[in-house]
Amino acid sequence: MRKIRILPSILAADFSDLGADVRAVVEAGGDLVHVDIMDGHFVPNISFGPDVVKAIRKSTDAPFDTHLMIAPADPYLEAFARAGSDIITVHAEAGPHLHRSLQTIRALGKKAGVSLNPGTSETAIECVMDMVDLVLVMSVNPGFGGQSFIPSALDKIRRVKAMIAGRDIALEVDGGVTAANAGEVAAAGADYLVAGSAAFKGGRAQYAANIAAIRTAAESAIGVLV
């Protein structure tokens, strides 16, 4: 049976107390920490860089899933690897040398991910499927938390699932995932569910209930006994 993993996106965390919030959301049931890096160029927003990732790395042993929404990405891969990322995901749209970026991530000893914007066909990654450990289907246009899930992402998830064809590649979905749509998302084939606002809403006392609601919805939809 497929295992569902919930990845709180710390873009929605309390930046004034980030280390403690990262620890709290993992203790509340987050499986991996989704770390959103934005450069104000590839996406119209800026988040934080490798020094912040390194600082919060001390707060938990949970794996760090670093989502690079930056272009170019290649000059910064080593810094994010050294900062303690376990998975590093680059966007297929971020530059002309996706193959090289993925080679570099694996050469740094990290798992390699590739992400697709809502407007990019999955055919863009056909030639690199044997070089990735994770495919990230964006279900919003990247740049901001709190946006609504774009329904056409569901068909793309199904198509990417077919392309994975049983290989050991995680299928991650990011953007507007909530307990209300986690079932559809999981049923379409996703196993890594990123949740920003839906995980962090209501403050620390709510994190565990928020994450449990997303997990239960996803697992019920794919028939995991809960």
| Nearest CA among 41, 31, 43 for reference residue 6 | 31
- Check residue 67 for interaction with ligand DX5 (CB under 6 A): yes
Alpha-carbon span 60 to 163, nearest angstrom: 33
- Tell me the closest approach of the beta carbon of residue 173 to Zn ion, in angstroms: 10
- Check residue 118 for interaction with ligand DX5 (CB under 6 A): no
- Check residue 8 for interaction with ligand DX5 (CB under 6 A): no
130 belongs to the catalytic site: no
The tokens of 164 are what?
Answer: 């994975």
Alpha-carbon span 136 to 93, nearest angstrom: 13
Nearer to Zn ion, 145 or 189 (CB): 145
Alpha-carbon span 212 to 205, nearest angstrom: 13
Restricting to residues 47-106, which ones interact with Zn ion according to CB under 5 A?
67
- Tell me the closest approach of the beta carbon of residue 36 to ligand DX5, in angstroms: 5
Half-sphere exposure of 212 (CA within 13 A, CB side): 8
133 belongs to the catalytic site: no
Alpha-carbon span 116 to 118, nearest angstrom: 6
Non-local CB neighbours of 198 within 8 Å, separated by 6+ positions: 177, 178, 179, 210, 214
- Of 15-23, 105-113, 175-183, 206-214, the segment contacting ligand DX5 by CB under 6 A is 175-183
Selecting among 21, 31, 36, 65, the annotated active-site residue is 36
How far the first Cα of the chain sits from its last, in Å, is 13
Q: How many residues bind ligand DX5 (CB under 6 A)?
A: 22
Indicate the residue type of 112: A
Quick one: which of 65, 122, 174, 184 contacts Zn ion (CB under 5 A)?
174
Alpha-carbon span 19 to 212, nearest angstrom: 22
- Tell me the closest approach of the beta carbon of residue 194 to Zn ion, in angstroms: 6
- Tell me the closest approach of the beta carbon of residue 161 to ligand DX5, in angstroms: 20
CB atoms within 10 A of CB 79: 14
Alpha-carbon span 83 to 176, nearest angstrom: 27
- Check residue 34 for interaction with ligand DX5 (CB under 6 A): yes
Quick one: which of 62, 145, 154, 218 contacts ligand DX5 (CB under 6 A)?
145
Question: Coil, helix or strand for 145?
Answer: coil
Closest residue to bound ligand DX5 by CB: 196
- Tell me the closest approach of the beta carbon of residue 37 to Zn ion, in angstroms: 9
Q: Which residues bind Zn ion (CB under 5 A)?
A: 36, 67, 174
Residues with catalytic annotation? 36, 174
Q: Which residues bind ligand DX5 (CB under 6 A)?
A: 9, 11-12, 34, 36, 67, 140, 142-147, 174-177, 194-198
